[in-house]
Chain A
Amino acid sequence: MTSSASALASVLAAEGSGGDDGFQAPTVEEFYPEPIAEFDLFGVAFEITRITLIMWLATAVMIGLMVAAVRKPSIVPGKMQFIGESGYSLIRDGMARDVIGPKGLPFAPFLASLFFFILANNAMSIVPLAQISPMSKFAFPLVLAVIVWVIYNWVGIREQGAGRYFKDAAIPPGVPIGALILVTPIELLQVFVIRPFTLAVRLFANMFAGHMLLAVFSLGTVYLLQVGNFSAIFSVGAFAMALAMTFFELLVIVLQAYVFTVLTATYLNGAVEPAH
């Protein structure tokens, strides 16, 4: 064995042994910070952690921006009003009107709230000092998905009647009788279980994986600088990767907020209009 290969082997062995001097990869513990305050309410234990505070902050900032945008509405909009109105019309025209259809305009405020709430919370994953998105805790996207699930089923029953709605969900029109053995279970599972489940998991998984990626490269940069041999030159590569991943994360932040909202609009579209 050549000397360089054995040097590499000893480095790898040192890292693989999991000793205190090796690289400590980020673990799931990242998402369970120490609680700042704890209290019991009706026998349910509540914990206020860093992540809860981040969610309050993100929501407060988004509400503040929105209120500032419409504080003094004028016919010729100022900068803030222009940004606020463009953002709202992206949801109102692009989703509520175009995806749901003519019956969709009443849902525009709901879709816009959903989009901007998710956007603000996702954005916290690359905001300095916060650096973790509340959406990377499964509970947050799960509650949003349950809200969406209740609303589209409720709207479907209200618009089409319970019998019609559940019959169309179980037996899609135009399917041959023989195929119903396969189609009915799949459709029922899809509409009532898989839709909310994937809405929640998609958002959670993207934010979770994004945080882990950033954590791996950031901690890797620090480790390579501190390890105290020629490895320091590689920290430049790790840092460049952390920087590139931050921009990729920015794309994911906007895209996942958009995807969550556009899928909500698509499910609402199926609820307000009978299948044909």
Chain B
Amino acid sequence: MIEVLAELEGNIGAVGYGLAAIGPGIGVGIVWAAYIQATARQPESAGLTRTYAFLGAALSEALALIGLVAPFIYG
């Protein structure tokens, strides 16, 4: 018989959110990496591209935020 050392309790939704956060994490990283690179190459374009950087980050982050509420809706 297997002796139980420790048991885990909780919601599988937490694991689901961990998985759901991978994609948006990479996406937001790419957006800001591109913004930093663009600014380093052409510093005067920083103000011009900042709006697009925030828009892109907000769009990719939306997926993580939808993932956050999904366990509440289906849980």
Interface set of A (CB-CB < 8 Å, partner B): 9, 12-13, 16, 18, 98-99, 190, 194, 197-198, 201-202, 205, 259, 262-263, 266, 269
Assess whether B65 is in contact with A202, with CB atoms less than 8 Å apart: yes
Q: Which of B7, B55, B58 is in CB contact (< 8 Å) with A16?
A: B7
Asked if B42 is at the interface of the complex by the 8 Å CB criterion, the answer is no
Q: Are A201 and B68 closer than 8 Å at their CB atoms?
A: yes
Q: Tally inter-chain residue pairs, CB-CB below 8 A.
A: 42
Q: How far is the CA of A262 from the CA of B55 in the complex (A)?
A: 9
Contacts of B44 in A (CB 8 A): none
Also in contact, A202 and B51, with CB within 8 A (given A16-B6, A18-B9): no
B48 CB to closest chain A CB, in angstroms? 9
Neighbouring B residues of A194 by C-beta, 8 Å: 62
Contact (A198, B61) CB under 8 Å given A98-B47, A262-B54, A266-B55 = yes
Q: Is the CB of A205 within 8 A of B65?
A: yes
Q: Which residues of A contact B69 (CB under 8 A)?
A: 201
| Known pairs A12-B6, A16-B9; A198 contacts B54 (CB<8 A) | no
* Bound complex: CA A16 to CA B10 (Å): 11
Interchain nearest-CB distance for A101 vs B (Å)? 10
Q: From residue B42, how far is it (CB to closest CB) to chain A in Å?
A: 17
Q: Judge if B5 is at the interface, Cβ distance under 8 Å.
A: yes
Nearest residue, chain A, Cβ from B7: A16
Pick the contact of B58: A13, A98, A263 (CB < 8 A). Answer: A263
In the bound complex, residues from chain B placing their C-beta under 8 Å from that of A9 are 5-6
